[in-house]
A and B are shown apart, each in its own frame.
Chain A
Amino acid sequence: MSSRRKNRRRLSSITLSVLGVLAIAAFLFPIIWMAITSLQSPEQFRSGGFVFVPTMQNYITVLSRTDFPRYYANSIIIALSVVSVGLLLGTPAAYALGRLRFRGREDLAFWILSTRFGPPLMALIPFFLLFRTLGMIDTLPAVIVVHIASFLPFVVWMLRGFFEEIPKEIEEAAMVDGCSRMMAFRKVILALVAPGVSATAILTFIFSWNEFLLALVLTGSQAKTAPVSVYSYMGQAIGGINWGPLTATGVLVSVPVMIFALLAQQNMVRGLTSGAVKG
């Protein structure tokens, strides 16, 4: 390679790196800004936001003077329950759709996915009236049930992709070695699909955690979830908007999902995309 060509290569790779860094900075900027604002006291924010001496005052306010910890706990309980039930119901279904042959398999798969097509709004009024009759408004089980209805199709869809990836030969080899189908399932397939299951679990947790519209309508001050409480702090008519505590709650709400995403990103992306494409 001529030296001119080598230099051009180097220049273009430097430009690309710079572009890459700029792109990442642009995408991370609002998040970083939110974090910085949450660590500023009102006086610093007033002075234009360019002075920065971090203070935990906003977090202390949010955690000790409001009901936010209880809403946070609600979100945790709801999300964990949705993940557990979702996996319990969805794993066998995904296995059936992914590894067994039977009539109507593709149609059933499409039907399960199609339940996502209705806008959440469609379910809102009927569910509210139903829960009211059952006395379940503003309870955690109500939100859990509705979330399961919303996310179970996704769990099935994504796990199906992972199940499909496993070659038939492995299962057959295990059975030749003397395992029954059940044992083959437990020892071989489950182990192979474990990363997919964890990825699905994490994604479902994130979806349930972030869900807003259904939680907004179905909850009051007892079962309110974290995102809904953030929305509450935005519309204060009498106290004005307190941006310190508001961004502090924003950070607290965002942190768990971001940590999960970073921990599980490899498998998560695989699951999202391979499950999507194979379909």
Chain B
Amino acid sequence: MREQRTAYLLLAPTICVLAALLLYPFFYNVYLSVMNYTVGRESSFIGIDNYIEVFLDPTFQNALIVTFLFAAVALSVETLLGLLLAILFNRESKLSRAALMLLLLPLVMTPVVSAATWKILYDPVFGFFNSVLRQLSLGTIDFLGNPVLALPSLVLIDVWQWTPFMTLVIVAGLKALPKSPMESASVDGASNAQTLAFVTLPMLRPYIFVGIVFRLIEVIRVFDIIVATTDGGPGIATQTLNFYAFIMGFRYFHVSYSATLAVLLMLVTLVIAQFAFKMATRASRYE
């Protein structure tokens, strides 16, 4: 009983602050999404019309596809690459320790700064990559201007920045795992690769999972990279949901439509998180 009261007392300031600062925008947003407010025009209540319009909007559908592709490819590559790097650097050598430290650097770099740097590197006329290609007589590639290459090029930026995160999570997992199952497997005659695949990997599952969920929540709202490089182009090839909502609200003044997109984005994140937590609690029960 006393614990309960102490707990509530300690939690009160945090809960008050969060409630005040976050519930208000949320409800205001929901309110905006059932109105048809565009700055400079009359507004009225229109119920769920915005939501219907959004689902029928081909630009929204494109944004959905772009966001999904971006998230899927980025996350897969980050997980796979992260796993490989984690295994590579999970040794006790000075080199490995230094490597893991250095991997932190891309991770903490300001996303706008990394986007700016990559944009220059990618540039067909002034960029480093293309001057190397030209030296090797391989011609020029417009990474950000080619409609097929633009999205993968942006995915590469995200992979560069966030693979270290997955690597560190998995390394932490590897260090936390008990050694005995691996040892008994190799005593039983399993090769390194077999031990890895059939013993280590399944035990790593909760860690990999947590990493994926954390990344997923962040990657579906990717914004900094897009606005600093292609601004949604070429055409709408790199126009993600969050970016679409931003230009709808802040460039075209369709505030209600933007609010609708924001609410939808939040619901998607909520669903993913719920699903992820269910899976995570189920997975950890295996231990």
Chain B binds chain A: yes
A interface residues with partner B (beta carbon < 8 Å)? 16-17, 19-21, 23-24, 27-28, 30-31, 33-34, 37, 48-49, 89-90, 92-93, 95-97, 100-103, 105, 108, 110, 112-127, 130, 145-146, 148-149, 152-153, 156, 206, 209-210, 212-213, 217, 226-228, 230-231, 234, 243, 246-247, 250, 253-254, 257-258, 260-262, 265, 268-270, 272-274, 276-277, 279
Q: Which residue of A lies closest to B20 (CB)?
A: A149
- Is B61 engaged at the interface, CB distance under 8 Å to the other chain? no
Pairs across A and B, CB under 8 Å, 15 listed: A23-B99, A27-B103, A28-B106, A33-B121, A34-B117, A90-B14, A96-B11, A102-B3, A121-B245, A122-B26, A149-B21, A246-B116, A258-B104, A272-B172, A276-B169
Interface string of B151-168 (1 = CB under 8 A from A): 000000000100110001
Kindly provide the distance from the CB of B75 to the nearest chain A CB, expressed in whole angstroms: 16
Measured between alpha carbons, how far is A21 from B96 in the docked complex, in Å?
10
A125 to B172, CA, bound (A): 39
User: Of B136-144, B179-187, B194-202, B257-265, which binds chain A?
Assistant: B257-265
Residues from chain B with a CB closer than 8 A to the CB of A250 are: 110, 113, 116-117
Give bound CA distance, A114 to B17, whole Å.
Answer: 15
Look across to chain B and name the residue whose beta carbon is closest to the beta carbon of A105. B7
Q: Are B207 and A273 in contact (CB under 8 A)?
A: yes
Docked Cα-Cα span, A273 to B273, in Å, equals 17
- How many of B's residues come within 8 Å of A, CB to CB? 86
- Are A27 and B273 interface neighbours, CB within 8 A? no
Q: Could you tell me if B17 and A92 are in contact, using CB atoms closer than 8 angstroms?
A: no
Q: A19-B88, A24-B99, A258-B105 are in contact. Are A231 and B18 (CB under 8 A)?
A: no
18 additional A-B pairs beyond A93-B14, A100-B4, A125-B258, beta carbons within 8 Å, are A30-B117, A31-B106, A31-B109, A34-B113, A37-B120, A48-B131, A89-B17, A93-B10, A96-B10, A102-B8, A118-B262, A121-B221, A125-B259, A148-B21, A152-B17, A227-B112, A257-B109, A277-B172
Closest to A269 in B: B168
Main secondary structure of the interface of B (DSSP, over half): helix
* B236 contacts chain A at the CB level, 8 A cutoff: no
